[in-house]
Structure 1
Amino acid sequence: MEKIAVFVNDAAHARHILQPMLASGVATHWVLVACPPTLTRHIGRWVSNTARQQWRERWAAELFAELEAELKTHGSQLEKIVAKRPLVDVSARLEARLGSLRLLDARRPRLGKEDEPLTANQPAGDGNRWAAPVAITTGLSAVLAMAD
């Protein structure tokens, strides 16, 4: 049975990526790793650590509920984990515990932000630092063109 760890932050995006693998019909040991979004500095100032942890657990439970039924088909096993950053440590602990394991990054990319790597030897991103300014100026250009 193949072991695959899937790092997820959005169920719809992950479902789109996992669809070809689920269609094969092979029994798989899935390790679903929820990567909750980090709270901003301003929110973190007013929220206690226990409230933050409870929010992370509720967020992960909703994500797991959306994906659980699809991953438990064809005799597959499902294991659920809520990731605590850094993700390099999470993937290293999973590989130490489960042995050989495929890592699948099914996280939704965020505009103008670089995703955290899953392994220490993962190559750096493509330098997507101009994506947000280009998107903003394109949107403003479109609004100005329509205003004419």
Structure 2
Amino acid sequence: MEKVIVYLDDPAYARQRMPGGDGAPTHWLLVACAPRMTHRISKWVSHSARENWRAKWADRLFEQVIPQLQARGDTVTPILARGPLPELTRTLMAEHGETRVLDVRRPKQDQPGQGGNWASGTMMSLGALFLLAFD
């Protein structure tokens, strides 16, 4: 049985990126990667409340992904990532032997005001400056 470690954070995006069933049974090690919380949230939310939120978030994610895989006859092991992914990958590979690793997490989008797409803002500012200069 082939074993595959899959890192995911969005069920719809993951379903589009995960390979289809080729008939061979597969053991999926689904690793839920919850969204990061800012360091400032620790002032307002306790550690146990954050862990509870992550667990509930992962449960909702698994509810949307696991039934589809089990319907194909595959085995699924849900895992919630609680630390750095390289360490988790090494641990899972040591426990399950040689496995394939898929990262089907949704790519991060640049957020305005966080050093994202500064080139377009710069070009707009220069354009406005030139318009003012020619008036």
Runs of 4 or more, structure 1, over 3 Å off, are none
1:52-94 per-residue CA deviation (whole Å, 9 max, x = no partner) reads: 0000000000000000111113321000000012101100000
Q: Distance in 1 between matches of 2:43 and 2:94?
A: 35
User: What is aligned with 2:11?
Assistant: 11
Number of matched pairs: 123
User: What is aligned with 1:132?
Assistant: 117
8 Å Cα contact 2:21-2:72 kept in structure 1:
no
RMSD: 2.4
Say if 2:68 is the partner of 1:85: no
Higher Cα Rg, which structure = 2
Counterpart of 2:71 in structure 1: which amino acid?
A: T
Deviation at residue 47 of structure 1 after TM alignment: 0.7
Deviation at residue 43 of structure 1 after TM alignment: 1.7
8 Å Cα contact 1:29-1:78 kept in structure 2:
yes
**What SS does the corresponding residue of 1:110 show, helix, strand or coil?**
coil
8 Å Cα contact 1:5-1:102 kept in structure 2:
yes
Counterpart of 2:22 in structure 1: which amino acid?
A: S
Change (3 A) 1:4 1:51: same
Percentage identity across aligned positions?
39
Structure 1, unaligned stretches of length 5 or more? 114-129
1:88-115 per-residue CA deviation (whole Å, 9 max, x = no partner) reads: 11000000100011000001110249xx
Change (3 A) 1:9 1:30: same
1:94-144 per-residue CA deviation (whole Å, 9 max, x = no partner) reads: 00100011000001110249xxxxxxxxxxxxxxxx85324x639x79xx9
8 Å Cα contact 1:22-1:71 kept in structure 2:
no
Q: Distance in 2 between matches of 1:109 and 1:38?
A: 14
Q: Distance in 2 between matches of 1:102 and 1:42?
A: 36
